[in-house]
Amino acid sequence: MSEALTAGVVGGSGFTGGELLRLLDGHPNFEIAQATSRSYERKTVGHVHPNLRHLDLRFTSPEDLESVDVLFTATPHGVSMEHIDAFQDAADTVVDLSADFRLSEEAQYDEWYDGHICPEYLDKSEYALPELNRENLPGADLIAAGGCNATATILGLKPLFDADILSGDEQVVVDVKVGSSEGGAGASKASSHAERSGIVRPYAPTGHRHEAEIEEYLGVSVSFTVHAVDMVRGAAATCHVFPDGPVSKGDMWKAYRGSYGDEPFMRTVAGGGGVYRYPEPKSVAGTNFGEVGFEIDPANRRLVVFSAIDNMMKGSAGQAVHAANIALDLEETAGLDFTGFHPIGSP
């Protein structure tokens, strides 16, 4: 497609909104038409995102949406469901990065969130993660990006279901480590540097909302714990799986190659040489790549599955752009086919 498509970003002043603007700025098929922010209305985008100072663009009010081809909405939970009619009036395709349309049933929102005010949209939405839902994305007009912790977990475990190593009845224990950017740009006591620096803090020992996505899209209940750790970008999931029968390394390699061998943004890293022998957030920081890997513990009849993503890229903005590319019949890697840095400090 040679003609540029117009794109808008609602909530453009947040961390994820800034990441969307960065990706759209470098995208060969998109032209940024609008970025909204209540707090920074009339301020330049570069005032908030210093890496985007070259953009001749100012934040506008979210009440004054321009008509665009694609609208990316990077809003807190609950906002998009209140304004979805206005969003769809403004754009042919809406890609929402909140939790508002990730789940398919109203009862799930009653259980995991605070209910849903427009459940009629839930069965119209498509989950954005292409490695899971690629076949349903072409032509979709409402797309919901997955949660970063759920994304990391799903990517790690999905090949075991694809290969029938897991059926969904097994015990699965998941421990996720996440960076500070997951908490968003809003300040809090817990996110201040003095409190956040140097920590390995369990902040969701049980009952994390992303369990709902994992259960829906993989069909397995997980024992799920999330730790906040001293990094800026990244989500790393370690999954402890106890299958019913013996599983060999050959079985595992076959499963991961079968699921991800043709995927442009997935890499399998499982016990090779060098320093980075398993998935590591630093290896994918700033990129749309996801890394997955595994190790076998035969003495305990356990599989240990690792996965790592950049929470703001593969876990949010990158996933959203990737899904939009597929929905609009663009080259799926457009605007995303760049590598990360090495060495790099805290991602």
pTM score? 0.97
- Ligand-binding annotation for 325, yes or no, is no
pLDDT score for 347: 62
- Ligand-binding annotation for 6, yes or no, is no
Architecture of 146-307 per CATH? 2-Layer Sandwich (3.30)
Q: What is the pLDDT of residues 121-159, one digit of tens each?
A: 999 999 999 999 999 999 999 999 999 999 999 999 999
- Ligand-binding annotation for 261, yes or no, is no
User: Helix/strand/coil (H, E, C) string of the chain?
Assistant: CCCCEEEEEECCCCHHHHHHHHHHHCCCCEEEEEEECCCCCCCEHHHHCHHHCCCCCECECCCCCCCEEEEEECCCCCHHHHHHHHHHHHEEEEEECCCCCCCCCHHHHHHHCCCCCCHHHHHHCEECCHHHHHHHCCCCCEEECCCHHHHHHHHHHHHHHHCCCCCCCCEEEEEEEECHHHHCCCCCCCCCHHHHCCCEEEEECCCCCCHHHHHHHHCCCCEEEEEEECCCCCEEEEEEEECCCCCCHHHHHHHHHHHHCCCCCEEECCCCCCCCCCCCHHHHCCCCCEEEEEEEEHHHCEEEEEEEECCCHHHHHHHHHHHHHHHCCCCCCCCCCCCCCCCCCCC
Query: Is it the case that residue 346 has pLDDT exceeding 80?
Result: no
Catalytic residue among 71, 91, 129, 148: 148
Query: Is it the case that residue 1 has pLDDT exceeding 60?
Result: no
Catalytic-residue membership of 118: no
- Ligand-binding annotation for 16, yes or no, is yes
Superfamily the domain 3-145+315-326 falls into: NAD(P)-binding Rossmann-like Domain (3.40.50.720)
163-172, 239-248, 270-279: the lowest-pLDDT one: 270-279
Stretch 51-74: mean pLDDT, rounded?
A: 98
Query: Is it the case that residue 344 has pLDDT exceeding 90?
Result: no
Query: Is it the case that residue 2 has pLDDT exceeding 60?
Result: no
- Ligand-binding annotation for 238, yes or no, is no
Enumerate the domain spans of the chain: 3-145+315-326, 146-307
